[in-house]
Chains A and B, each alone.
Chain A
């Protein structure tokens, strides 16, 4: 092989083999040097788009992820009723017996603390999504739980005035170190309060009392009050009684309150006791209903599939997921309807938009621009105004019906129902989404040289063949882009179906909006939204497989 027959590339390789890698001016290999320069360029490019990327992440991706996470989140039950849910774990609903007394004891403590924190009604509304009536059950119990605890409080206080005073309590419960740092703490300069530290002798003797007292201190601090002086909750007295009744050896306690504890221990055996099982039944007989306890047990875990089951018309039962009763099934129907109507709307947008885009692309620029303004005009008008205008147009005494009656096409007593049904939604949404179809179509058609059509015709094709075999295939990327835009927008539409859809023309998004803003069932709304999102992504994937996303053009 002589030099004259070598290609330039072979030349280079031959050189390289002879002299080693090509070097840049500074002596580094050219490849490395080039990569460095490129990397710097890439970094600069990254820096340019970084603001947008961060913006999208912070304001779009993160909130959506947070919202979707709510569809499985269920900590509220175990956070609000920690003792009850752990006691309840071993209870078996199959026995047909209400839970044992320990569960009711735990419920009293949880409910008392939750009521102080005003968290019980929140949990009530949460569980009310699963079982009707829990909301008022919790509200009612919250009001009465105070009385239950006072039985012990009164008896301790009658026994000795020592127990009436919050300062005595903090001296009995808190360690010296904690109390002195607590009294030094003034809440200024942003330091957080010193964490509660029990006296070691008390902590080992009266574990339950200390545990509840700790929650009390946390609560008092959260209210910006002084835990050293505040009188404790009634439930602390109940816990003290419980510790004493369990045979706490109070002689191990020395220092402040030791004498009073000994006195209380002696007296406690004669205290009047509270039967919480009966006390709760007294508040509401529903506390003795198996169903209520089953619901609490079923929803004890921190994460639940309940919202997702609900979103596909199912529910959690003790025997696993089951379909809801016929008269409560709605979401699957709405999902199907949303899909179907979005397809119809996309289809009618293609039918109406294609000719318009064709005319726009083939008219002289001046006229085309004028027409383009007409296409864009709806963009500049409020969505609500456009939708309301359709209401005036389509209603039975509206413009369209009046015209039809006047023309004699429709009889006055059988005017067409064009609104508050599917027809209304399809008409109004087709109109609103039409520009999203026309614009991509137009931008693609603009790039198809008219000479192709002329060439086809000069080669003997009929008008139709020329269009169908030559022009149309080239415009398909525009149809693809327009369809994806319109379909995805349609599937999440909410305002227009709400206003003109009546009962048969509403979408799944209307139910999502209802659960977000009215029923406050954000978990269910998130589950419905997640399913919708999965649908769209699935369809997008399928489209990519079948048509190929590369065939989509949004602009020339």
Chain B
């Protein structure tokens, strides 16, 4: 009978522990979902720590942003949303909003005005690309290249990526059509403001794929943002696309012989959403956090830790130096005038419509 008793006792304990953790959303805890790594770290320093100090709320980090859309949908279907605030890219925010999985936000009601009194809506301006989306940073997808592998004439244009004669060696491109199709068309002589008109057509899509085909054999296709920095550091590739913050850390923090090619960088946004259907007390806390974490000073603070541009116009002048390296951060921002001479704006509306279609063609083309 001793065994039975032990079994019963353990079972009771396990059940009790399970109940306790299921009920774990205690009054003073919130779960914030983000990307992990250096990016989460910058948020921890700039937002979480000051917020925990100010309110005593304990913030739990979850690095699930890359699959946030699917997980939120599953949670929503199960009727048990365990996340309070989620960091996603703008395209995902649009998707979540479309699916009714994210809450609609009224910027002027839920977000802090700028110090000079400008309303939040005007301060964020065009960057509020969806009713559910609270912009946080502007980042860009752009190219980095090995300075020791390009000879005396470093690349200056995005089209040098397609020039395998002048710059022999492998390139890294993302394993999805977004950005690649645009760059291919730009370098195939399509004017910048016509790119999406051309890409709407079958012929335009084929034209982009044909252009990509000219370097297909030389491309390593990446799927995680960390791939290109690693490939560059190992000398596997001569140039490759990735997020500008990743390149910043390869260049400035790891001191690798890599340089930025800002030409035709594609701007994109990352920010917060609040899941739909939170109970009142958690919603109130999530909104309180959002109000705090997206004010002018907080957004500027984040750029001390990572080279992404704050999404508020009023934050830009407050961008200062890197917390550890002590270097000026402004010149490393994708929005810096020197870097932003030739930029390209990600077209959310277009990709929301055409992503499935073009992705099918792109993947079929890749598999050929």
User: Hey, which bits of chain A sit against chain B, CB under 8 A?
Assistant: 118-119, 121-122, 124-125, 128-129, 132-136, 139, 327-330, 333-334, 392, 395-398, 420, 498, 502-504, 511, 516-522
Contact = CB atoms under 8 A, between A and B. Distances in A.
Given A128-B356, A129-B356, A503-B366, A328 B361 contact: yes
Given A118-B100, A330-B367, A397-B235, A132 B353 contact: yes
Given A118-B100, A330-B360, A504-B367, A125 B221 contact: no
Contacts of A135: 98, 352-353
Given A328-B360, A519-B355, 14 more contacts: A121-B100, A125-B95, A132-B353, A133-B354, A135-B352, A135-B353, A329-B364, A330-B367, A395-B236, A396-B170, A503-B367, A504-B367, A517-B67, A520-B99
Contacts of B223: 498
Nearest first, the 9 A-B pairs at minimum CB distance are A121-B98, A132-B357, A517-B70, A330-B364, A517-B67, A503-B366, A118-B100, A136-B353, A328-B360
Contacts of B221: 420, 502-503
B231 to A, nearest CB: 8
Contacts of A511: 363
B234 A397 contact: yes
Interface string B331-368: 00000000000000000010011111101110111110
A256 B234 CA distance: 81
Nearest to A51: B11
B32 interface: no
A327 B70 contact: no
Chain B interface size band reads 35 or more
B352 A327 contact: no
Contacts, number: 83
B57 interface: no
A397 B99 contact: no
B220 interface: yes
Contacts of A517: 66-67, 69-70
A455 B265 CA distance: 75
A139 B234 contact: no
Interface string B73-100: 1000000000000000000000101111
A107 B53 CA distance: 53
21 contacts: A129-B356, A134-B353, A135-B98, A135-B352, A135-B353, A136-B353, A327-B206, A327-B364, A330-B360, A392-B234, A395-B231, A395-B234, A397-B236, A420-B221, A502-B221, A503-B366, A504-B367, A511-B363, A517-B67, A518-B69, A522-B73
B69 A122 contact: no
Given A397-B236, A503-B367, A519-B359, A128 B353 contact: yes
A506 B116 CA distance: 53
Nearest to B234: A397
B100 A330 contact: no
Contacts of A122: 98-100
Given A133-B353, A330-B360, A519-B359, A124 B234 contact: no
A40 B212 CA distance: 71
B175 interface: yes
A135 B349 CA distance: 9
A329 B175 CA distance: 17
